[in-house]
Amino acid sequence: MPNIDLTLDQLWSYTPTETEPPDFDQFWSKTLDEARSEASSAGGGLEIDEPYIPLAGVQANKIWMTGLGNARVSGWYVRPQAGGPFPGLAHFHGYAGRGARPLDVYALAAQGVAVISIDCRGQGGDSPDIPAVDAGHHPGWLTRGLGDPATHYYRYVFSDAALAVEALAARDEVDASRIAVMGMSQGGGLALAAAALSRKASFVWSDMPFLSDFPRAVEITPRSPYTEVSTYLKRRPELAETAFRTLAYIDVANHARRISCPAKLSVGLWDDICPPSSAFAAYGRLGSTDKELIILPYHGHELTYELDERRFSEVLARLEVKPAL
């Protein structure tokens, strides 16, 4: 597969189109206030089921929390059995997937990290989809509620992600000053959004983030999910201005300005699902002074064992965890 985007020199100097709406912060503040109020009315925090699977030194549970619209959002909580306080990590999953399950995050929990993951609404886990809206959409989730940021699918999912981080930080056994967020693709975008919205993260690791720099990503990407938008607008061209106005509230290149904690992003220069320029857009706007962009020159939308190992070690170091021997 050839490089589908700009040259590396051009990527480093790339400046994305400015799309941030003037009421961006007010919109998200109101959204989170609404979500927190509903969660508080429902009892707040996490509803934790009985232990799910026996794992040496680790407690694993199915969990539930109240999300925006009083939805019952599902996920997993995997923590060391010792007394704590432990550092925490929120893990977010890829498009159409499901939350990381106990064996997926066992290695981190076994080293002394409390890990939460949630199922994005209507995708592969047990979280319900968003409420129906009075408009059509293309199959998938990018165009669900595209006519208004207040009804868009990712307004709900972003608020769920932020509340999951806040619920993790509020646990008695968790050290709220040591919270990492991470994910790949959609999960990478959610990690950035959760860090920006919750302001609880002390470290972000985002691999090949989705949901970034919509104007460019929709224009050049030949594969789903961004093509959900272009296909929909091919049928409804009169909605283009409205669609991109809505997506500006979701765009993690806009959220990235609100992230001040240390952050690492990765990008594959042959990625034809989340194009390299969209990752550079988010990276360039990070408010962090301690940041790094890891470039994989011959990779598409994929991770390597070596990168997994590097991320694991970096997360433990940033959370000040001494590996168990």
Q: Which residues participate in catalysis according to the annotation? A: 185, 271, 301
- Determine the residue type at 316: L
Nearest of 145, 196, 143 to residue 24 by alpha carbon: 196
CA 320 and chain centroid, separation? 23
How is 14-79 classified by DSSP, letter by letter? --PPP---TTHHHHHHHHHHHHHHHHHHTT-S-EEEEE-S-BTTEEEEEEEEEETTTEEEEEEEEE
User: What sign has the CA pseudo-torsion 281, 115, 202, 325?
Assistant: negative
Spatial separation of the C-alpha atoms in residues 44 and 220, rounded to whole Å: 42
How is 229-244 classified by DSSP, letter by letter? HHHHHHH-GGGHHHHH
CA geometry: angle 284, 188, 69, nearest 5 deg:
115
How is 277-319 classified by DSSP, letter by letter? HHHHHHHHH---SSEEEEEETT--S---HHHHHHHHHHHHHHT
Query: What one-character DSSP code corresponds to residue 84?
Result: -
190's tokens: 């959610």
Helix/strand/coil for 178: strand
Which helix (H) or strand (E) segment is 10 a member of? helix 8-12
> Which CA distances in Å does 78 have to 59, 87, 157?
6, 12, 21
204's tokens: 């972000």
Spatial separation of the C-alpha atoms in residues 227 and 321, rounded to whole Å: 41
